Amino acid sequence: MTNTRELQTLASGVVAGAAGGLAEIAWVTLYAGITGSDATALARGVTTAAGVSALLPAASSVTLGISVHMILAAALGVALTFAWQALSAKRGLRNPCPFMLLALAGVWAMNFFVVLPIVNPAFVHMVPYAISLTSKLLFGLAAAEVVRIWTRFDAPAPALAFRKAGARKT
């Protein structure tokens, strides 16, 4: 039972991260389209910020940047989903949205004020803070919605759970 639960949490985390990553891509693409800025430069910047350019100097394509972004998004989605499962089980919480928004605001702050200024200072200034923060918050909203829906469909119907509990006692 535990393995099934963990696999379901892992799967929902990957989907939540993918949804969040796609929300960020859509937001940055919209911003670039409205302002006339270059979204591909941001995608290439992801490879540099993630250290992929150092490992593969010739590989700084947009596709690689998007791939790295989506892998990181999936990993973040998994971590947040497991954290949410633990927190919600312990505290009886039902709505993952406040947790996801707070967590993603924290991720943004850590990235833009601590990690990126050291790793790739130019990346910090590729888009305004408000745009990058909005990107992370949209990730949080998308991930929270996936987790909320997944949790709703994952939970057994109360009547079915009651019948199973009663059947075990007899």
Tokens representing residue 47 in the block: 């490879």
Give, for 68, the enclosing helix (H) or strand (E): helix 62-91
In a domain, 139, yes or no: yes
Q: What is the pLDDT along the chain (170 residues), one digit of tens a residue?
A: 468 888 888 999 999 999 999 999 999 999 999 999 888 888 877 777 766 666 666 656 788 888 889 999 999 999 999 999 999 888 878 899 999 999 999 999 999 999 989 988 888 888 899 999 999 999 999 999 999 998 777 654 443 444 444 544 44
In a domain, 88, yes or no: yes
**Which residue, among 105, 100, 98, 90, has the nearest Cα to 12 in the 3D structure?**
100
- Cβ proximity of 19 and 138 under 8 Å: no
151: alpha, beta or left, given left = phi > 0 and alpha = psi -120 to 50?
Answer: alpha
Q: How many domains does the chain have?
A: 1
In a domain, 160, yes or no: no
**Which residue, among 95, 81, 54, 64, has the nearest Cα to 143 in the 3D structure?**
81
Range of the domain at 32: 18-37+76-153
